[in-house]
A = this chain, B = another copy of it.
Amino acid sequence: MTLFKRQMKLGAFLPAPGHHVAAWRHPNVKPDGGMDFEYYKSLALKAEDGKFDMLFLSDGVGIRTHYKNKDELSRWGRIVQFEPITLLSSLAVVTKNIGLTATSSTTYNEPYHVARKFASLDHLSNGRSGWNVVTSVTDAEAQNFNLERQPSHQTRYKRAREFMQIVTGLWDSWEDDAFLYDKRTGRYFDPDKLHMLNHSGEFFSVRGPLNVTRPLQGYPVIVQAGSSEDGQDFAAQWAEVIFTAHQTIEQAQLFYKDIKKQTLKYNRSPENVLVMPGVFPVIGKTQAEAEEKYAVLQDLVDPQVGLGLLTGLLGDVDISHLPLNSLLPELPETEGSTSRQKLIYEQARDQGLTIQDLYLSVTGARGHRFVMGSPSTIADQLEEWFTNEAADGFNIMPPYLPEGLNDFVDFVVPELQRRGLFRKDYEGRTLRENLGLQRPVNQFA
Contacts and interface: CB of A to CB of B under 8 A. Distances in A.
Contact of A90 (B92, B145, B187): B92
Given A37-B123, A61-B113, A89-B90, A74 B187 contact: yes
A204 interface: yes
B186 A25 contact: yes
A294 interface: no
A143 B199 CA distance: 10
B83 A120 contact: yes
Contacts of A439: none
A120 B62 contact: no
A119 B140 CA distance: 20
Interface of A: 24-27, 31-32, 35, 37, 60-63, 69-71, 73-77, 79-83, 85-87, 89-90, 92-94, 108-110, 112-113, 116-117, 119-121, 123-124, 140, 143-147, 174, 179, 181, 183, 186-192, 194, 196, 204-213, 300, 302, 305
Contact of A205 (B62, B69, B146, B206): B146
B188 A31 contact: yes
A44 to B, nearest CB: 12
B86 A124 contact: yes
Contacts of A113: 61, 109, 113
B82 A212 contact: yes
21 contacts: A31-B188, A37-B93, A37-B123, A62-B112, A73-B191, A74-B189, A74-B190, A74-B191, A76-B188, A79-B211, A80-B211, A81-B211, A86-B86, A86-B89, A89-B90, A90-B93, A93-B93, A112-B144, A143-B205, A143-B207, A147-B205
